[in-house]
Structure 1
Amino acid sequence: MSYELQALIGPAELVAVAAAEVSAARPRQLAQGLALIPATPEFLAALRFGDEAPATPGAAGFGWFSDGLERRLAAWSKAGPIACVEADYFGGTGTQRAALWADGRLALGPLTSAELEPFPPEGSPISRVLRRLGVHLAAPDTDPAAAVAHDEFDAAGLGTHRTTTAWASTP
């Protein structure tokens, strides 16, 4: 079974502002007050300026970034933290990359995990940026005996869909 995701994640209010600026954005709600914008080809194309190259590994090392996306992330992050995440798994092995922008600059990352590389004690790259976005495994007012998510990835609800395309196509 495979899992593939390229997306921006942030507080729902901030993601709504970002989505209002980019007509190709298809924001989706996540758990714990977060939302996600799938990084579809249409969304990424809408962020390019003029004849800018469609993909250049920028400061965060994401191969699908344009200068326009990095500029927008910096601008949006002045209102609150926003993360860029990617995951690519097949048959239980794969890679992750995540970075977080805050206060107009790259604040964390890029964090990466290579194929077959174990996650460090602080968790996967995506879980680490989700933690910085405020995701927690159990709410303070929950029953201690209640089931707790395995990690922040699960707690945020990122397992709902298996592909970026599926995130973009759901209502």
Structure 2
Amino acid sequence: MLLGVVGEAELLRRASGARVVSLGQGMGLLPDATGVVSEAELGAWSALGAVARVEAEYFGGLGEQWATVWEGGEVVLGPLHLPEGEELPAEGSPISRALRRLGVVAGAGEDEFSAVGLGRHRATEDWLN
């Protein structure tokens, strides 16, 4: 399972004071394996710039995704959920849509999830090592 907060890497470092994993396109991931970052904190951090809580749970190629984006102290996208077994909508997965809202641009043949490198690890704990 992947659970964390994505946003501009420097914004997350300043707002959280925690270790942030660098992703592509200037984005960062604040792993949040226990879900301790509250919605109030995300709202406060989003005063500095857009942030997204993302969650993906996969096993054997099947799984679910959730994503919500905060900007200016408010939820501006979501919460989005793609249940297991449901067809991917034309606008993309919840996480790709959230990343797009954060300004991530996907190249030919990839989605935003791949473009920033979120596929490197599927488990939150692996991002911490």
Amino acid of the structure 1 residue aligned with 2:123: T
Return the offset for 1:26. Answer: 2.8
Determine which of 11, 20, 31 is the counterpart of 2:8. 11
Determine which of 78, 90, 93 is the counterpart of 1:124. 93
Return the offset for 1:16. Answer: 1.0
Conserved? CA contact 1:75–1:104, under 8 Å:
yes
Determine which of 21, 44, 52 is the counterpart of 1:28. 21
Q: Give the aligned partner of residue 166 of structure 1.
A: 126
1:91-130 matched pairs, under 5 angstroms: 91-130=60-99
In 2, the alpha carbon distance for the partners of 1:159 and 1:84 equals 16
Conserved? CA contact 1:84–1:98, under 8 Å:
yes
Return the offset for 1:84. Answer: 0.2
Q: How many residues align?
A: 129
Amino acid of the structure 2 residue aligned with 1:5: L
Return the offset for 1:18. Answer: 2.2
In 1, the alpha carbon distance for the partners of 2:65 and 2:33 equals 18
Q: What SS does the corresponding residue of 2:125 show, helix, strand or coil?
A: helix
Q: Normalising to structure 2: TM-score of the pair?
A: 0.94
Q: Normalising to structure 1: TM-score of the pair?
A: 0.72
Point out where structure 1 has 5 or more consecutive residues left out of the alignment.
48-68, 139-147
In 2, the alpha carbon distance for the partners of 1:89 and 1:40 equals 15
Q: Give the aligned partner of residue 38 of structure 1.
A: 31
Q: Give the aligned partner of residue 86 of structure 1.
A: 55
Conserved? CA contact 1:5–1:86, under 8 Å:
yes
Identical columns (%): 49
1:155 aligns with 2:124: no
| Bigger CA radius of gyration | 1
